[in-house]
Structure 1
C-alpha cells in the first residue's frame, strides 16, 4: 500500500526531480553520512511522508542522486581519437565530475546501479577499444581494470580512503623526518615524495601505466602519453 503525504508537497509543486536535486544539494553540503529523509523534508518544508509520493525510500533516493551525478559525467571526449586518447578522456571525465561533487560523488562509486546512465557509461567504456579487436571477456577485464584504478584513486583523492596528502610544510617536514629516522635507505630516498601527494599527477601516471601495459599486451605501439605541459 502506498503511503501518502499530507498534500503540501503537491501544493508546492514537489516532483521526484526536485526531491533528487534537493538531496544532491544537501549531500554536497553535508556528506552522505549526515543525510536523512527527515532532515531533507524539513529543508523542503514538507512532512517526511510527502517524500514517499516521489521516492520509495532513502535507498531509492540515494540511487537517484547517484544516477543524476553519473548522467552528468561529460563523456563527449571519450568517443574521439585513438583508443589511448579515449581511455584518458574517459578517466579524466570521471575525475572532473567527482571534483565538482566531492562529497556526493562517492555515491556513484559505491552504489552499483543498472540505471540508463550507468548502462550508457558502461557501453561507452566498452566501445573505447575497437582497434584492439579484444574478445568480449578480455574487453570486460580491461574495462574493469581501468574502472578499478579510477574508482580507487578518486576515492583516495576525495578523502574516503587513507591518504598521505599534506598541505602544511611543517607536516611534510615531520613526515620526512619520521621516515628517515627508520634508517632504511630506500625509505629515506623516497621520503620527500611519500610525504606529499599530487593527486592529479598520480592519477595520470597510473592511467598511463595501464595504457602502456595494455599496448604491450596486445602488441600495438604506445603513443608515449599526452603532449603538452601538465599543470
Structure 2
C-alpha cells in the first residue's frame, strides 16, 4: 500500500485514477467493500482527498459505470454498417461486464448520466438515425440492446445457467426441457447470447425496412 498522504493533499490524483481504483476494489472485494475510506486506503490518501475528484458516493458510482461502459466503446460509430456497429458494441459491452462482474448490479440499478456516457449514447443515436431509423426509434433500439446485454451479464455474474439447470431435472417429468438442455450441451452461454443478439438485430432491420417503406 502506498504511504498515506496528509489530509487534503491531492497527491497528483485525477478523477480517472480514482475511478480506476474504485473499480479495482470492487472487482477484488465486491460492492459491499466500497466506501470513501476504503477507496482512500486503496489510493494511499485520506478519504477527504477523494472528494476533490468525486463530490459524493453517487458521483463515484456513476463514474464507475462510465468506466465500464468506456471499455466497450468502439473507436468510431458509423465506421461500418449500423448492424456491424451495434453487434460490435454489444460484444464489447458483454466482455467489459464479464471483466467486472461485481459492478454489474450498478448498471441494473442506476442510469449514469455523465457527460462521457451521454456522449456515447449520442453517438449511437446519431449512427442509427443516419442509417435511416426514425429518431424516437433510435432510443428504443438503444434501450433494448443495452437491457439485453446487461441482463445477460447479470445472469452470468449470478451463475444462472438455465440449460445446465434443466439438464439435471427429472427426465420423466420434464422430458422436453431435459432433452433440449442435454442436446445443447455445456458452455452454451455465448451461443445463446449470439442467437438472441442476432434476433434483436434482425428485428431492428425489419423496423428500418418499414420506416423506409413508409417514407
Using the size of structure 2 for normalisation, the TM-score is 0.78
Deviations 1:118-144 (A, max 9, x none): 112212221333465222222222222
Residue matched to 2:176 = 186
Q: CA separation in 1, counterparts of 2:90 and 2:75? A: 12
Residue matched to 2:157 = 158
Residue matched to 1:70 = 69
Q: CA separation in 2, counterparts of 1:127 and 1:175? A: 42
Shift of 1:216: 3.0
Deviations 1:61-93 (A, max 9, x none): 222222223233231264222222122112112
SS of the aligned residue for 1:128 comes to helix
**Are positions 1:93 and 2:92 aligned together?**
yes
Q: Report if aligned partners of 2:25, 2:39 keep a CA contact under 8 Å in 1.
A: yes
**Are positions 1:213 and 2:203 aligned together?**
yes
Moved over 6 A (4+): none
Computing the radius of gyration from Cα coordinates, the structure with the larger value is: 1
Higher helix share: 2
**Are positions 1:198 and 2:188 aligned together?**
yes
Q: Report if aligned partners of 1:165, 1:195 keep a CA contact under 8 Å in 2.
A: no
Q: CA separation in 2, counterparts of 1:131 and 1:11? A: 44
Q: Quote the RMSD (CA, aligned, Å).
A: 3.0
Q: Report if aligned partners of 1:179, 1:187 keep a CA contact under 8 Å in 2.
A: no
Residue matched to 1:227 = none
Residue matched to 2:35 = 36
- Structure 2: gaps (5+ residues): 211-215
- Structure 1: gaps (5+ residues): 1-5, 167-171, 221-231
Residue matched to 2:213 = none
Query: How many aligned positions are there?
Result: 206
Using the size of structure 1 for normalisation, the TM-score is 0.74
Q: CA separation in 2, counterparts of 1:131 and 1:59? A: 34
**Which region of structure 1 is more displaced relative to structure 2, 36-45 or 8-17?**
8-17
SS of the aligned residue for 1:68 comes to helix
Query: Do the aligned partners of residues 192 and 47 (structure 1) sit closer, same or farther apart at CA in structure 2, a change above 3 Å counting?
Result: same
